[in-house]
Amino acid sequence: MSTNTLTGHIRKMTSQLIDGQVEYQLPLSEHSLALNPLIGKQLTLTHSGKINCMECGKKTKKSYSQGFCYPCMMKLAKCDMCIMKPETCHFAQGTCREPEWGEANCFVPHFVYLANTTAIKVGITRHTQLPTRWIDQGANQALPIFKVSTRLQSGLVEIALAEFISDKTNWRNMLKGKAESIDLKAKAAELIPQIEQRLAEIKLKFGEDAVQRLDEEVVEIDFPVLEYPTKISSFNFDKTATVGGTLMGIKGQYLYFDTGVINMRKFTSYEITASY
């Protein structure tokens, strides 16, 4: 039996939500590997030892901020701490690393949402990243509850809600199974009155239209998984060059093998050969 191979540098898995089911592709440099047809089949991923920065292309011994060399990580706005904590945005102080990038990516509509990743959480994302953000987090349900004008404002709403629910995903629990259904609309109706004062303060500072309450339907997401593991054993290309086995499924940015799981996004910019 012949074996097909593709070689390239890992990029974040891309996804599409089609009739509620997630379809995945694994970009490897200029190639793209359709993953759903490989579920239930043998797949081997072998790291060559090479890591090249996804921004400048230079060889790096270590990947920083999921795919960058150290100099790029230190100079790029997309790698700044305010991306992880948008409420710390420092654009107004004139210290943004790349003002043009900030204007194009942070001063655009953002959504604040509730998601069910085995437990309810609050999150934020740009308007262009729905439903991708929910898929990347392994959420089986999601509901956008606010639309805001900027990333900073989304961060302020998020930290207000985070006083009552988590803003983190328990990745181990997420990987162990499908989330039990939660009435996200009822949860939103319960949570929002508790932050009315904080919302009023944000509107007073940024304008009445800064935060818009939404009335959307819950998005249901089904991941292609044949069998969930009872115990999570994680692979790491820095420790094991070859990872593989029978591909049992995909959820979030994780591949499930019958031998363990691997977070592909963690190894962005690593050069691998996929054999299938």
Q: Is residue 213 part of a domain?
A: yes
Q: What is the mean pLDDT of residues 38-48?
A: 98
Range of the domain at 24: 5-67+224-275
| Per-residue pLDDT at 3 | 87
Q: Which residues of 10-45 are buried (b: 16+ CB within 10 A; e: fewer)?
A: bbbbebebeeeebbbbbbbeeeebebeebbeeebbb
The verdict on 183 and 209 lying in the same domain is yes
Residue carrying the six token digits 């898929």 = 135
The whole-chain average pLDDT of the chain stands at 97
Q: pLDDT over 70 for what percent of the chain?
A: 99
Residues 163 and 252 in one domain: no
* One domain, residues 123 and 176: yes
| Same domain, yes or no: 130 and 200 | yes
Residues 177 and 259 in one domain: no
Question: At residue 161, does pLDDT exceed 90?
Answer: yes
- Examine residue 195 and state whether it is found in any structural domain, yes or no: yes
When divided into structural domains, the chain yields a total of 2
CB burial class (10 A; 0-12, 13-18, 19+) of residue 106?
buried
Q: Tell me: do 125 and 190 sit in the same domain.
A: yes
Is the CB of residue 182 less than 8 Å from the CB of residue 120? yes
Domain-embedded: residue 125: yes
pLDDT per position as a tens digit, 111-132: 999 999 999 999 999 999 999 9
Together in a domain, 59 and 43? yes
Q: 10 Å Cβ neighbour count for 176?
A: 14
Asked, for residue 75, whether it belongs to a domain, the answer is no
Residue 1 has pLDDT above 70, yes or no: no
- Would you place residue 210 in the very low, low, confident or very high pLDDT band (cuts 50, 70, 90)? very high
Residue % of the chain over a pLDDT of 90: 99
Tell whether 261 is covered by a domain: yes
What's the rounded Cα separation, in Å, for the pair 137 and 69?
Answer: 25
- 127 and 187 assigned to the same domain: yes
Q: Is 120 a member of any domain?
A: yes
Region 201-229: what's the mean pLDDT? 97
Element (H, E) at 75: helix 70-75
4 pLDDT above the threshold of 80:
yes
Say if residue 130 is in the same domain as residue 60: no
Q: Is the peptide bond before 224 cis (omega within 30 degrees of 0)?
A: no
Whole-model pTM? 0.95
pLDDT digit string, tens, across residues 242-257:
999 999 999 999 999 9
In-domain check, residue 18: yes
Tell me, yes or no, whether 76 lies in a domain. no
Q: Is the pLDDT of residue 107 over 60?
A: yes
235 with 187, same domain: the answer is no
Mean pLDDT computed over 81-109: 96
- Give yes or no: residues 210 and 126 share one domain: yes
Taking 60 as the threshold, does the pLDDT of residue 184 lie above it?
A: yes
Confidence bin at 2 (pLDDT 50/70/90): low
Of 220, 242, 259, which closes a domain?
Answer: 220
Q: What is the C-alpha separation between 199 and 208, in angstroms, rounded?
A: 10
Check whether residue 208 and residue 235 sit in a common domain.
no
CA angle 140, 191, 136 (to 5 degrees): 25
